[in-house]
Structure 1
């Protein structure tokens, strides 16, 4: 069970205006790009902290962090 408090981030007015100008396809592409960036950064962090880990361990930890947050 997740006992961490819920965090809701609010988009500021300027960002909301930019997003309103995007098509749905453009917004989906932005989400995909942000997801790829999160995975690359998570992988770099795991590799830095665990240089001795195998690729399978790194991949498993990245999935855990991206999907559920850090332990």
Structure 2
């Protein structure tokens, strides 16, 4: 881990599990990225929130955010 990049615990909201669109979004990400990259960057590592027409993706560390942004 790089200096200054302290991971934080992911706190999952009720919406994260209850929104029926969540599984659809995750399946689409897996299809577009491929199984291995999806598992590496997203599976059990992000929190999704759907607000109207926006998809918000929360990550647990600045390092993961940086890696996802580069992809």
Richer in strand (by share): 2
Greater CA radius of gyration, 1 or 2? 1
> In which range does the TM-score fall when normalised by the shorter chain?
0.3 to 0.5
Richer in helix (by share): 1
TM-score by length of 1: 0.33
TM-score by length of 2: 0.33
Tell me which of the two structures has the higher relative contact order, counting C-alpha pairs closer than 8 angstroms and 6 or more residues apart: 2
